[in-house]
Amino acid sequence: MQGIKSRYRLGVDVGGTHTDLVLLDTHSGTFAVEKVSSTPANPALGVLNGVAKFVAKGISPEDIAFFAHGTTITTNALLEMRGAKVGLLITKGYRAVQEVQSQARDGNLFDYFYTKPEPIAPQSLTHEIAERADYHGKVLVPLDREAVRVAARALQAAGVESIAVSYLFSFMNPEHEEETRRIIAEVAPGIQVSISSEVLPRIREWARLSTTLLNAYLEPVLVRYIAHLNAGLDEAGVVTQQRFLMQSNGGVMPFTAAMEGGRTVHTLLSGPAAGAQASAYLAAADAGHGLVTLDMGGTSADIAFIEGGVPLEVTEGTIARRQIDVPALDMTTISAGGGSIASIDGGGFLTVGPQSAGAAPGPACYGRGGTRPTVTDADITCGYLNPHYFLGGAQRLDLAAARVALEEHVAKPLGLDALQAAAGIRRIVDMRMADEVRVFAAKRGVDLSTFTLLPFGGAGAVHAAAVAEELGMKRILVPMRPGAFSALGLLCTDVVHDYIRSELRPFIDVSPEHAEAIYAALEAKARHELVSEGMKIEDAKFSRELDLRYTGQGYELRTPLDGLFDGRLDAKAMAAARERFDHRHAQIHGHAAADRPVEVVSYRLRLRVSVPKYQPLLEDTPAMPRPVSEAQKGERRVYFDGATPVMTRLYERDRLDVGAVLEGPAIVEQFDATTVVNPGWTARVDGFRNLVLERKD
C-alpha cells in the first residue's frame, strides 16, 4: 500500500446496542476508536454516523483505503423471521423433503409436543419440476423447461422475492439448476435465485436444501443493506472499492461477492466471527495459552475456543433451529448481554433474557425511555459502572432510574431491596455464561484450568472475573480496547472463500489424477471469482482438504492435505492422507481402524488472499514508569457480594504504564469498557498493553 490514499483502514462492527469503529493509521501503527448508538431500523445509518464522527475530527474520507464490516443483519433477520418471501423449485417427487427434514430434533428429546420450525417456502409456493440426474451426474430425465416457466410466472404472481432451486444430485451435475436460473431471469426478471449447486454443492439432501432456502430467504435482506451502505459510503466520500464483509469462517469477502449472490449464508455469524478472529490473532502474541473468548455485548454473549493460535472450526450447525452446513468458526451464543431484561416468570422465579432492551430504548439507566431492568442496570447499581464516565463521559447513566426499574419489576415482587435484586441478576447471568463455557469445553475436550479467559465487548470485562472464578480459571487477558475488539478483528483477517464438491467414492478407487482434476476445477472457479471481485490472482493461496470416513460411517472428518504434496497430488500424498485421517480419527474419537476401507465424501478448497493487518506493538517497560497512583482517579463503594460495600480504587487505563501492577479490588475505566478486578486478583499491564488478571492461590 503506497501513498496518502493508503493511510487509513477502517473496521466496523454493528452490535445490538452500539456500533464500534476502529480506524487504523498505517503510517503510525496506532488506531482510534469510536462508539455510536446502533440504529436497528437501518443499521447502515449507525455505521455512517460513526464515519461522520471521524470526518468531523479531521480524517479525510478519501484517505480510508480499506473498509471491513461485521454485521448481524442476516442473523437478526433470521431470528426475527424478517426475510424475503421465498418460492422453491424441487425435483418432481421430492416436495416433501422440506417437511420431513431429518430425524434430528433440538431441545428436549422427550417433548411430545415438539414441532419443527415453519417451512421457509410453504407447500403453496413449492413447485415440482420434472428432471433427474443420478448419483454420477448422468441425466436420466431432461429438464422440463416449460414447467420452470409456468412455476416462475406463478411465483412472481404470488409476490415471491426470491426462489430457491434444489434438484437431486445437482452437486454432481449443475446444468439443470443453471438452466433453471436462466429461464427464471427471462420469465421473471428481478426475482433473486439461489441454486443449491452454488450455495452448497455437497451430499445430504436436507442439509443442502436447508442451506439453499436460508440463502434465498436472507439474500434480498443483505443485498438491500449492502446497496444502501455502499451508496452511503459513496455519499460520505469513502471512495475506496476495497469494501469487505466479514464471513462466518473468520475471513472477509468483497461487497461485490455478497451482491452477486449465493454467499449470504456465509455471513450468519459475521459479527461474532470478527471477535474470535481478533482473539486468534492476539493469541500469537500470547503464546503458550489457549484462549476462551467471552464476547459480551448488548444483547448476547458469544463464546469460542482458540488453540494453537487458530479458532476451532465446524462445517455443520444450526442457527435459530435451522440447519446450515457452511464453514464457520466454532462458537456458541447465549442471551446474556448488558441489555438482557430481568423479569419474574410465571413460577415466581427471577429470569434474565432472552428479551433485550437493545439500543432503543436500551437499559433504564440510559434515560431513553426504557423502564425494564437489565444487566447493565444491575451492574451500575452494584457499583461496577461509573454513571459519569460511560463512553468516556460522552453518555451519563441514570443510577436512580436503574434502581426504580429494579425495585418495581424485580425487588418488590421477590421481597428484596434493589441491591439484592441487582446482585441476583448478576449471579444468574454470570452462572449462565460459566455453564455454557463448561458444557462447550466438555464437548470439545478442553481443560479449562490451562486456558486463559479473554473477555471483550462492552460488558465482557465487567463480568469476566466472576465467570472465571466459577470456572476455576486463574488467568484473564483483557485486550487494550475490549469494547471495540470485534471491530479491530476486521483489521486482522484475510479474504477467504471456501469451495466444496461432493463425490462419494471408495478411497482406493480415487486416483491422484482424478482428485487433482476436481481440485483444478475448484481452483479455476475460485480464480474466476477472484478476478470478478477485482483482486489479483497472484496473491491467492490455496489449501486443500478431503472429507473422509470409514465405510459405513454416517459422518466424515476434514483431513487437511497441506504438506503432503508439492504442486500436484501423487500416490504418496494420497497414502499419507489416509494415514493422517486415521490419526485424526484416533485424536478426535479415541480410536481408529487402519484396517478398514475408507470413503471419500467431499473435496474442499480454501482460497486465501492476504491483506495488510493491524500489527500489535510490543513495548518495553519504561526505565522510569509512572507510579500507579498517578492513574488512580478516586474510590467507589462496590458490592461484590451484593450485601457488603467494599471501597474500591478506580483507575484510568490510559494512564497505566507497561509493567504497572494493581491489587484487587480495583476497577479500571476507559472510553469503551470497564474492567473489574475482584478481591483476590491482581492486574498487570503487559508489553502489548493488555491487562493480565491473575487469581492469587
- Give the tens place of pLDDT for each residue, 336-377: 888 899 999 888 899 998 888 877 788 999 988 889 999 999
Q: Considering the entire predicted model, what is its pTM?
A: 0.84
Over residues 577-588, the mean pLDDT reads: 92
Q: Tell me the domain boundaries of the chain.
A: 340-427, 495-609, 628-695
Per the CB < 8 A criterion, the answer to whether 74 and 221 are in contact is: yes
b/e 114-123 (16+ beta carbons within 10 angstroms → b): eeeeeebbee
pLDDT tier at 35, thresholds 50, 70, 90? confident
Upper half-sphere CA count for residue 329 (Cβ side, 13 Å): 34
Give the number of residues written for the chain. 697
- Give the tens place of pLDDT for each residue, 235-253: 999 988 889 999 998 888 8
Q: Which residue has the higher pLDDT, 386 or 443?
A: 386
Single out the residue of 174, 254, 202 nearest to residue 497, CA to CA: 254
pLDDT given for residue 287 in this prediction: 57
pLDDT tier at 283, thresholds 50, 70, 90? low
pLDDT given for residue 162 in this prediction: 97
pLDDT tier at 226, thresholds 50, 70, 90? very high
What span, in angstroms and rounded, lies between the C-alpha atoms of 289 and 285? 10
- Give the tens place of pLDDT for each residue, 523-545: 999 999 888 887 888 889 999 99
Decide if pLDDT at 587 tops 90.
no
- Give the tens place of pLDDT for each residue, 470-502: 999 999 999 998 988 888 889 988 888 999 999
The CATH number of 495-609 is 3.30.1490
pLDDT given for residue 193 in this prediction: 96
pLDDT given for residue 446 in this prediction: 80
Above pLDDT 90, what percent of the chain? 60
pLDDT given for residue 1 in this prediction: 37
> Is the C-alpha dihedral spanning 439, 440, 442, 447 positive or negative?
negative
- Give the tens place of pLDDT for each residue, 88-144: 999 999 999 988 888 777 766 777 888 888 899 999 999 999 999 999 999 999 999
Q: Could you write out the DSSP letters of every residue in 199-225?
A: H---S-HHHHHHHHHHHHHHHHHHHHH
Element (H, E) at 619: none
b/e 621-634 (16+ beta carbons within 10 angstroms → b): eeeeeeebeebbee
- Give the tens place of pLDDT for each residue, 142-193: 999 999 999 999 999 999 999 999 999 999 999 999 999 999 999 999 999 9
Decide if pLDDT at 57 tops 60.
yes
b/e 23-42 (16+ beta carbons within 10 angstroms → b): bbebeeeebbbbbbbbbeee
pLDDT given for residue 3 in this prediction: 38
Helical pair 418-443 and 460-471, crossing angle rounded to 10 deg: 60
Decide if pLDDT at 383 tops 90.
yes
